[in-house]
Homo-oligomer: A and B are copies of this chain.
Amino acid sequence: MTRLHGIVPYLVSPIDPETGAVRTDVLTRLVTDLVAAGVHGVSPLGTTGETPYLTAAQRAAIVETTVVAAGGRVPVVPGVVATATADAVEQALRYQEAGAAALVVIRQPGLPTSEAGIEAFYLAVADAVEIPLVLYTNPGATGVDIPFEVIRRLAAHPQINYLKDASGVTGRVLDAIVSVGDDLQVFSASAHIPAVVLRLGGVGWMAGPACAIPRASVALYDLAVAGEWDAAFELQRVLWPINQLFQRYGIAACVKAAVTLRGYDVGPPLAPQTPLSPAATAEIAAALAAIDERVAP
Residues of A bordering B, CB below 8 Å: 20, 47, 50, 52-56, 83-87, 107-108, 110-114, 116-118, 120-121, 124, 143, 167-171, 174-175, 177-178, 191-193, 196, 199-200, 229, 233, 236-237, 240-241, 243-244, 247, 250-253, 269-274
Contacts and interface: CB of A to CB of B under 8 A. Distances in A.
Nearest to A112: B250
B178 A192 contact: no
A273 B170 contact: no
A274 B116 CA distance: 8
Contacts of A87: 53, 55
Contacts of A168: 169-171
Given A86-B20, A87-B53, A168-B169, A273 B110 contact: yes
A136 to B, nearest CB: 15
A224 to B, nearest CB: 12
Nearest to A89: B271
B178 A240 contact: yes
Contacts of A20: 86
B117 A52 contact: no
Contacts of A192: 170-171
B171 A191 contact: yes
Contacts of A250: 111-112
Looking at chain A's contact residues, the main secondary structure is: helix
A14 to B, nearest CB: 15
Shortest beta-carbon contacts, A-B, top 6 = A117-B272, A53-B84, A121-B272, A85-B271, A170-B170, A168-B169
A199 B171 CA distance: 15
A56, A174, A229: residue with the most chain B Cβ atoms closer than 10 Å: A174
20 contacts: A50-B110, A50-B111, A52-B84, A56-B56, A84-B270, A84-B271, A110-B272, A111-B252, A111-B269, A116-B274, A117-B272, A121-B272, A124-B271, A171-B191, A171-B193, A174-B240, A175-B240, A196-B196, A199-B199, A199-B229
Contacts of A55: 87
Nearest to A114: B274
B53 A110 contact: yes
Contact of A243 (B171, B196, B199): B171
Residue picked from A47, A244, A272, most chain B C-beta under 10 Å = A272
Contact of A200 (B56, B111, B233, B274): B233
Given A83-B53, A108-B52, A193-B200, A117 B274 contact: yes
Given A168-B169, A250-B112, A117 B196 contact: no
